[in-house]
Structure 1
């Protein structure tokens, strides 16, 4: 069995609206509460990081699946939205919506388009981060194949 260790180091000066720092491999950034939640909005925050983890895991999973299926898109892009609900002062990460756009060659056969759609759906179910948040944060897909 192979296990991978990912380590993050964090410093925080103390108060709610202070600014901390994190380091994890190639990721080095300041952290604080976003302005939408009455924070200073310096660096990134847990909400953006969860969205970033889910989006990049999905995108890399999709790219790997397309490659294994011998589908080479002209371009592969992704926009993802994280929806956080605030009810009675309680913040709940409600859902993430991934909107991948897979642009295939103009002469791509219908079966390739169908396969790209299936792989876009499968990538969400196999992504490590999607599996980690399953049952807590809903994930929706809005796939565009051109």
Structure 2
């Protein structure tokens, strides 16, 4: 059994209108409550970080799945949207991924179907999505797009 450890350092000053700083191996960022939630909107915020983590995990999981299945694609482009609600206290309600696999124009119909299946399965295999299961509804609305030559 393997274990992997990740670390985080942070500091915070103030209340709701305060700000802070977070640092990981690959991230060095100012943080505050988002302007959408009447905060100062400096740097990023936990809501953006959560959706970024889920979307990045999905994107990487999908890339790995397509590679393992030897399914041809040029690249994956993704937009994800998260909804926070204050119904019964603030909480993440849902995250929707809108991934697009860029493929060659002459890609076989059977291959296209297998790519779409992999796009649906990747959300179920993503470890960050698994950590949120039962708390945040996560869905995928995949599409394919032929490469512009």
TM-score normalised by the chain length of structure 1: 0.95
1:51-110 deviations in whole A, cap 9, x for unaligned?
Answer: 00000000000011111111231231000000111236x212000000000121111111
Q: Give me the whole-angstrom Cα distance separating, in 1, the residues matched to 2:93 and 2:15.
A: 26
**Ranges of 4+ aligned residues in structure 1 off by more than 3 Å:** none
SS at structure 2 position matched to 1:96: strand
* Number of residues of Structure 1 aligned to a counterpart in Structure 2: 145
1:78 matched to 2:107? The reply is no
Aligned partner of 1:28 in structure 2 is 28
SS at structure 1 position matched to 2:90: strand
SS at structure 1 position matched to 2:2: coil
1:36-57 deviations in whole A, cap 9, x for unaligned?
Answer: 1110000111100000000000
1:120 matched to 2:124? The reply is no
SS at structure 2 position matched to 1:72: coil
1:105 matched to 2:104? The reply is yes
Q: Give me the whole-angstrom Cα distance separating, in 1, the residues matched to 2:57 and 2:26.
A: 16
Q: Give me the whole-angstrom Cα distance separating, in 2, the residues matched to 1:65 and 1:125.
A: 12
Q: Any unmatched runs of 5+ in structure 1?
A: none
Cα RMSD after superposing both structures: 1.1
SS at structure 1 position matched to 2:82: strand
1:95 matched to 2:94? The reply is yes
Q: Give me the whole-angstrom Cα distance separating, in 1, the residues matched to 2:140 and 2:19.
A: 34
TM-score normalised by the chain length of structure 2: 0.93
Aligned partner of 1:64 in structure 2 is 64
Aligned partner of 1:53 in structure 2 is 53
Aligned partner of 1:137 in structure 2 is 136
